[in-house]
Amino acid sequence: MTAPHPSTVIDPTHTAILRDNAAEAEALGQLNADQLALVYQLQWFKLLVPWVYGGQEKTLPELVRLQEAISWADGSAGWVVTLCCGAGWFGGFINPAVAAQVFNTPELCLAGSGAESGEAEMIDGGYRLSGTWRYASGAYHATHFTANCMIKKDGEFFKDDNGKPWILPFIVDKKDVTLHPTWKYVGMVATGSHSFQMDNVEVADDRCFHIDAAFAEVPGALYQYPFLNLAEATLAVNLSGMAMHFVDLCHDIFEKKMAQPKLTDDQKAQMKRVYDLVVDSLQTTRDELFAAVDQSWSHPGEAELKAVSKTSRHLAITARESVDLLYPYCGLMAASPDTELNRVWRDMHTAGQHSLLTFAE
């Protein structure tokens, strides 16, 4: 089945709000008030939060199509929604009493990091957390943070059966962390993906949880689906959404350039050939990814999940390469940081550096 254009998945008025405010959001270094109001109105930060806690508990096939559409409207907005609603998925594993309290928070937003850059010292009734975590997208909007920690007792790290440190995630309130403005990159500026720090923060033991289907606190297929494959697919469609935005912007640019008499027929033919190649390639890889996700959701076997990993990585690479194929034909406006085209290009190449989707295998 051919995947529809992202514009068919998102309301045009929502696209306009996200896109028309993107430049201001970039200047602010975070989503602006109008963008955030839309996110809260549509409960996009709660896309993966369990129904029982007032969330939307979307299926993965629904999720990836919507996330691609949001990223097509604006890359930074799509990325923040994806990462923060992804943290909301942890609601399926958090102690129910804690989850009910956390997800009852007005304008809920969970930010965090998967980096294993913290320590959790066991104390009576809980843990003492310390560490610094980078790249917490949506940090300025967060009401809570999640963080991975190496578990310690009496100054010694616990080890698993392979001799590696035992890592567990924790959820803490925003008041318990200190933000550091470390996000200074060329693209995805409005994601505000800053670092956060904790110094000897004491939490109860019910603030720790296990990201494992066997430890799910909420029933349902969403919390039995492997986190790695969910992450791969959702990040990949962010890149394809941005690439589709870039392709759409190139359409008018290419038409105007090919109308210029100074271009030879061969040059015009080359531009058309490259554009058509990109459009076909992106469509094919998008079709493959969505088909793999749909199949894995219905039958989450080993082969189906491997297909999600493979097609996610293929789509991410195709999205990056597609943008680079078109870029040279766009002229100097593509290199001007004040243009929408350049912002999409910068967002694409910054998001495309995510380590999860670097390699084809």
236 close to 315: Cβ distance less than 8 angstroms: yes
pLDDT in tens, 93-140: 999 999 999 999 989 999 999 899 999 999 999 999 999 999 999 999
Q: Which domains are present in the chain?
A: 6-92 (1.10.540.10), 108-215 (2.40.110.10), 224-357 (1.20.140.10)
Residue 158: band (very low, low, confident or very high) from pLDDT cuts 50, 70, 90: confident
The answer to whether residues 351 and 190 touch, using CB atoms and an 8 Å cutoff, is no
* pTM as predicted: 0.96
Biggest alpha carbon distance in the chain? 78
Cα separation of 202 and 127, whole Å?
6
What's phi and psi for 202, nearest 5 deg? -95, 130
Task: Please write the tens of the pLDDT for every residue from 177-188.
Answer: 999 999 999 999
What backbone torsions phi and psi does residue 261 show, to the nearest 5 degrees? -65, -20
Residue 315, pLDDT score: 98
Burial status of residue 301 (CB atoms within 10 A of its CB: 0-12, 13-18, 19 or more): exposed
Residue whose token pair is 């491997």: 306
Between strands 194-204 and 126-136, the pairing is antiparallel
